């Protein structure tokens, strides 16, 4: 079948038919085109852009303007996948009016087809207002990178019964607010299964085991671009860091030795 634009209806069909949903977090038009060719269903312009592209230690420093800039680039490079803009720290939880305005910018200025926000029942009233206004929203519960300064570190959530129950309540609140899908990050596989079995929308896991309706990974982890660290949940499908390093070293050597440009590369 010829590729078709991925819509919420298509994601829900895949979910109903128990076909895994493929999602990637990436940040530029070129890799967006490659992901699109691969049949990836959802491209998230994650606020992980802070660490992968912008040199920050975490996601906290990422601004709305930076996210809009990268989202617009991805939207230009994507034909089929659903483009989801990740709303950065403090752009959706100060007040509802600001959240609506900022989410609107993702849709109108950057070409996003949906936005993602971190949080559960605390953010549900904002999610409901966005959905009511025509903005599709993806939820995100479990390990929430935007709370790292409060929590002090990244850790698995929901190991203990009270926290697991609280995550279940968060998932239900997001569904009731109209979220079309929920990212489950950093939680035991069994809890992710229970949430997945109890909500009517697809769950997209990262570090949440095999039972989610789909999986999302950060493209730089899969591509081996960040050599220093590979999260436990990630698998390297390429070793681009060493290829890029070798290529730059070879180019520098050739220029230094007057081997580049050669006769064929000169006019
Ligand atoms: O920022 C990001 O890339 C994300 C995904 C990993 C879910 O939030």
Tell me, yes or no, whether 2 lies in a domain.
no
Residue 99 domain boundaries:
8-236
CA distance 77 to 93: 30
Quote the number of domains for the chain: 2
Closest residue by Cα to atom 8, ligand 1, is 46
Per-residue pLDDT of the chain (267 residues; tens, 9 = 90+): 668 999 999 999 999 999 999 999 999 999 999 999 999 999 999 999 999 999 999 999 999 999 999 999 999 999 999 999 999 999 999 999 999 999 999 999 999 999 999 999 999 999 999 999 999 999 999 999 999 999 888 999 999 999 999 999 999 999 999 999 999 999 999 999 999 999 999 999 999 999 999 999 999 999 999 988 888 999 999 999 999 999 999 999 999 999 999 999 999
DSSP symbols for 84-101: EEEPPTTSSSS-HHHHHH
Q: Confirm whether 90 is domain-assigned.
A: yes
Residue 144 sits in the same domain as residue 40: yes
Indicate if 266 and 214 belong to the same structural domain: no
Distances (CA, A) of 37 to 41, 43, 79, 124, 219: 10, 12, 9, 34, 15
175 and 266 in a single domain? The answer is: no
- Asked if residue 105 and residue 53 are part of one domain, the reply reads yes
Instruction: Round to whole Å and give the CA distance between 113 and 99.
Output: 16
Q: Which residues approach ligand 1 with their CB closer than 6 A?
A: 25, 44, 46-48, 86, 183, 185, 206, 216, 218
In a domain, 1, yes or no: no
| 217 CA: nearest ligand 1 atom | 6
The answer as to whether 3 is a domain residue is no
**For ligand 1, atom 4, which residue shows the shortest CA distance?**
46
* 183: CATH: 3.20.20.60
Three-class HEC string of 16-57 = HCCCCEEEEECCCHHHHHHHHHCCCCEEEECCCHHHHCCCCC
Give pTM, 2 decimals. Answer: 0.97
Same domain, 123 and 245: no
In testing the pocket of ligand 1, which one of 185, 202, 204, 221 has its CB within 8 Å of the most ligand atoms?
A: 185
What residues are labeled active site?
185
Asked if residue 111 belongs to a domain, the reply is yes
Q: Which residues contact 172 (CB under 8 A, 6 or more apart)?
A: 198, 199
Shared domain check, 60 and 77: yes
Tell me: do 37 and 21 sit in the same domain.
yes
Distance 38 CA to ligand 1 centre (A): 19
To test the ligand 1 pocket, which listed residue (22, 23, 24, 25) has its Cβ within 8 A of the most ligand atoms?
A: 25
Claim to verify: residue 25 and residue 114 sit in the same structural domain: yes
């Amino acid at each position: 079948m010829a590729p078709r634009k991925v819509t919420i209806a298509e994601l829900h069909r895949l979910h109903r038919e128990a076909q895994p949903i493929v999602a990637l977090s990436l940040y530029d038009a070129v890799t967006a085109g490659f992901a699109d060719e691969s049949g990836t269903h959802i491209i998230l312009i994650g606020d992980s852009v802070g660490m992968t592209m912008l040199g920050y230690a975490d996601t906290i420093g990422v601004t709305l303007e930076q996210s809009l800039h990268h989202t617009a680039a991805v939207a230009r490079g994507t034909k089929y996948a659903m483009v989801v803009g990740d709303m950065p720290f403090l752009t959706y939880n100060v007040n509802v009016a600001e959240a609506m305005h900022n989410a609107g910018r993702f849709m109108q200025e950057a070409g996003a087809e949906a936005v993602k926000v971190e949080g559960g029942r605390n953010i549900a009233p904002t999610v409901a207002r966005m959905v009511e206004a025509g903005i599709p929203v993806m939820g995100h519960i479990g390990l929430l990178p935007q709370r790292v300064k409060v929590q002090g570190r990244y850790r698995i959530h929901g190991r203990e019964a009270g926290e697991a129950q609280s995550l279940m309540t968060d998932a239900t609140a997001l569904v009731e607010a109209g979220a079309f899908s929920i990212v489950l990050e950093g939680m035991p596989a069994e809890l992710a299964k229970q949430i997945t079995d109890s909500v009517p929308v697809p769950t997209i896991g990262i570090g949440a085991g095999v039972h989610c309706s789909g999986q999302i990974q950060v493209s730089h982890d899969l591509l081996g671009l960040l050599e220093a660290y590979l999260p436990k949940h990630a698998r390297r499908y390429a070793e681009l860091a060493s290829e890029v390093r070798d290529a730059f070293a070879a180019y520098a050597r050739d220029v230094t030795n007057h081997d580049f440009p050669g006769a064929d590369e000169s006019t």
